[in-house]
Amino acid sequence: MGLNKIFKIRTVALLVLAMTLALNISVQAQTEDTSAAPTAPIDNTQPADAVTSPGALDTAATPTTSTLIDTSVPERPAPAAQEAESAPVWRSAWYHILLFLVACIFIGIIGKVLRVYELSREMQGKPGALNWNKIQGGLFLVMLILGLAATYWTYDVWGGMSMNEAASVHGERIDFMMAITIAITTLVFVLTHILLFGFSFKYKGSSHRKAYFYPHNNALERLWTIIPAIVLTILVLLGFFTWRSITNVSEEDQKKALSVEVVGEQFKWTIRYAGSDNALGLRNYKLTTPSNSLGIDFKDSKSWDDKIAGEIVLPVNRPVRFTIGSKDILHSFYIPDFRVQMNAVPGMPTYFQFTPKYTTEEMREKTSNPKFNYVLLCNKICGAGHYNMQSNVRVVTEKEYNEWLAEQALFYNDDMKKQFPMVSVKPEIESLAVNQ
């Protein structure tokens, strides 16, 4: 019964395979050599069938082969003609499907061989042809060794690719935490996997043995509740204080920092420097116009010395406080080298303060990559252009920074003054204008 059923399945599989083969070859023949088309396919399919039929191992396959040739020959011209047009598209698809089917048949044959072997052993009265428990247990041991080797390799190669020194002051503390966490977790990963796969290998089943009845051991359970708890407490405390030291900046320090604003929109960043007063002018999204794309409120005198820049340029070793905003949807202000990230939320300014440690030039030397650049990415899904929403970031010496800043023009220039005349309503502004 079982055998019969299996053969039926294989017949179906064989039929599918042969049909695919026939179609594929005819299509190939059509495209490659149209003149030879009428004869070539028939010549090709027959040997192909001959190749597959031994795989069936049994007489059951023979009728299949014959019916196949009967049915597929008259059918061939029609699909071939239809597919001649889309042939290049389909050819590689058919090729891969065919490859897969061959692999399936191959696996099926292996399964069959194993089954025949097992049955024959059984008929000879020899017990347990293949001890699958032993095989699987052994595979776990192999897996353990290969897995640990592979883990080492990935840590070595890919780890090397991904580990770059942080280029900011707080980044050092993050990297320190990261190192501790990697050390602890890797240790636990390796130990638990040695136990998991080792036990699987060592205690693989056998009919001669009974398992050890061991329902619980309170001391042991307490032990492995308390140890993780202690380790985690250490990590929590370290992490908590690191986090607070990064995010909880005193107001005094906030004032000392250079104030820069970045505003995200689909799919670019706008950068605004606070100017000589180091205070950003207010914004109101309702004031947004094509020329005043940030909606800066020019009634606020702090906005007059603000400068819009095409890139982020930062002086090295000086704290900088970014005010992060968004015009439309969520974005995320992310500079991996500084270990800096904060979402840009419409309607709610967010902040991140940090101190760059190395200039771009220094980083180029450190990484021995002359093309190195800090880069600002968007790291919150924001639409079609999300994968390319970037801005260049340059860290320079204080002197270079000052020179660069001086070159940048004021945003509230004469043109803008004409466009936004409401400014002149205020008396102090009039006097200022007179002075000029």
Q: Which residues from 3-62 bind another protein, rule CB under 8 A? A: 5-6, 9
Complex with another protein: residue 253 or 398, whichever CB lies closer: 253
Site string for another protein, 122-151 (x = CB under 8 A): ----------xx--xx-xx--x---x---x
Q: How far is the CB of 330 from another protein (least distance, A)?
A: 6
Question: Contact between 92 and another protein (CB under 8 A)?
Answer: yes
Site for another protein in 196-215 (CB under 8 A): 196-197, 199-200, 203-206, 209-215
Among 128, 159, 165, 366, binds another protein (CB under 8 A): 159
Is there binding between residue 152 and another protein (CB under 8 A)?
Answer: no
Q: Identify which of 330, 173, 291 has the alpha carbon closest to the alpha carbon of residue 240.
A: 173
The residue type of 315 is P
In whole angstroms, the minimum distance from the beta carbon of 189 to another protein comes to: 6
Minimum distance of another protein from residue 345's CB (angstroms): 5
* CA atoms within a 13 Å half-sphere pointing along the CA-CB vector of 77: 3
CA gap 69, 62 in Å, rounded: 11
**Residue selected from 379, 391, 411, 423 as contacting another protein according to rule CB under 8 A:** 379
Contact pattern for another protein over residues 217 through 256, marking x by CB under 8 A: x--xx--xx--xx--x--xx--xx-xxx-xxx--------
Residues 322-341 that bind another protein (CB under 8 A): 327-330, 332, 334, 336-337, 339-341
Q: How far apart are CA 144 and CA 49, in angstroms?
A: 43
Strands (E), 291-414: 307-309, 312-315, 320-326, 331-335, 340-344, 350-354, 374-378, 390-396
CB nearer to another protein: pick between 124 and 248: 248
- Look at residue 383 and give its three-state secondary structure: coil
According to CB under 8 A, which one of 121, 193, 268, 394 is a site residue for another protein? 193
- Residues 304-323 binding another protein (CB under 8 A) are none
The total of other beta-carbon atoms located within 10 Å of residue 333's CB is 25
64 vs 391, which CB is nearer to another protein?
A: 391
Residue 408 CA to its chain's centroid (Å): 38
CA separation for the pair 142, 149 (Å, rounded): 11
- Tell me the DSSP string of 270-297: EEEE-TTTT-PPPB-GGG--SSSTT-B-
